[in-house]
């Protein structure tokens, strides 16, 4: 990709965490680009640094840890790592949004679903309370919540896991961001609901024209969803390329191991030799 056309340019990103007096470098010189409207996958096992890389873009450190970021993260030419927190708040949620793994820890349990979406809209767009509520109902309908006007008054515990994830997606796309980061968005869901959430992300990406950064430990999740893929291992990108090319001819042994772990229809259910 021509770097000048990139929406996001990450250059030699490092992340060093200190927790309980112990320091560890979790991300080690990662560089990548994401173009406007492009869907890109990040694949790797838990602890490889992919979620930390996503949090770096949002400038969010894991709870209970202090973090030292290094390198550059250019978003529309502006280095996010050099921004003051006030400037970052203007970007976070409005221009770049993130869907996290666990909706129950991401949603406020004592606020209605509607109030949480209303709050995001009013904080970032300045619309009136009535306009925010109309848009909230539209967003809930957009992500497939039936009877949206009534359900907006319900609390997170009144929704299923799949519906809560849809609510998180509604909050994330409420301000029509340029980039949506989805961090393991289907991990806690059953297979049928996983497929529904992935289809929803694909549809919203096309309808809203946003770029998508999809993070997963499972190559099977990104099949058919992204144009390019980055494979991460021990804090580094070990392979990158078009998703079809990597599926057809993986070059790194770790990539081959991840692909071998994807269930295949031609072998499913067969006894071992």
The tens digit of pLDDT for each residue in 120-138 reads 999 888 899 999 999 999 9
Of the listed ranges 63-67, 249-253, 255-259, the least confidently predicted one is 63-67
CA–CA gap between residue 34 and residue 62 (Å, rounded): 24
Work out the number of other CB atoms within 10 angstroms of the CB of residue 85: 8
Nearest to 178 by CA among 76, 107, 26: 76
CA–CA gap between residue 252 and residue 238 (Å, rounded): 7
CA–CA gap between residue 174 and residue 184 (Å, rounded): 20
User: What pLDDT is recorded for position 205?
Assistant: 93
Measured CA to CA in angstroms, residue 171 lies from 90, 122, 128 at distances of: 16, 12, 17
Asked if 54 contacts 99 with a C-beta cutoff of 8 angstroms, the reply is no
Q: Where are the alpha helices (DSSP H) in the chain?
A: 50-58, 85-91, 103-106, 113-125, 129-142, 148-151, 161-173, 191-208, 219-222, 243-248, 253-260
pLDDT band at 272 (very low <50, low <70, confident <90, very high): very low
- The residue ranking higher by pLDDT, 135 or 221, is 135
Tell me the whole-structure pTM to 2 decimals.
0.90
Tell me the pLDDT of the chain averaged across its residues: 89
């Amino acid at each position: 990709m021509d770097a000048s056309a990139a929406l996001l340019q990450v250059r030699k990103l490092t992340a060093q965490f200190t927790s309980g007096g112990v320091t560890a470098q979790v991300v080690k010189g990662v560089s990548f680009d994401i173009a406007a409207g492009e869907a890109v996958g990040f694949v790797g096992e838990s602890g490889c640094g992919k979620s930390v890389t996503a949090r770096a873009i949002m400038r969010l450190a894991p709870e209970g840890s202090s973090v030292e970021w290094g390198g550059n993260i250019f978003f529309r030419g502006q280095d996010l790592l050099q921004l003051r927190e006030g400037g970052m708040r203007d970007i976070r949620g409005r221009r770049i949004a993130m869907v996290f793994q666990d909706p129950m820890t991401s949603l406020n349990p004592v606020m209605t679903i509607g109030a949480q979406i209303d709050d995001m809209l009013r904080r970032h767009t300045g619309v009136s309370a009535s306009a925010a509520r109309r848009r909230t109902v539209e967003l809930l309908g957009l992500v497939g919540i039936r009877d949206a006007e009534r359900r907006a008054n319900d609390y997170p515990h009144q929704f299923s896991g799949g519906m809560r994830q849809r609510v998180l997606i509604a909050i994330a796309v409420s301000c029509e961001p340029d980039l949506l980061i989805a961090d393991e968005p289907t991990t806690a869901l059953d297979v049928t609901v996983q497929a529904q959430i992935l289809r929803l992300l694909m549809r919203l990406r096309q309808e809203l024209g946003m770029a998508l950064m999809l993070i997963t430990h499972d190559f099977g999740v990104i099949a058919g969803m992204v144009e390019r893929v980055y494979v991460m291992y021990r804090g580094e990108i070990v392979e990158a390329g078009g998703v079809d090319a990597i599926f057809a001819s993986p070059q790194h042994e770790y990539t081959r191991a991840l692909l071998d772990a994807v269930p295949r229809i031609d072998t499913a259910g067969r006894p071992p030799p």
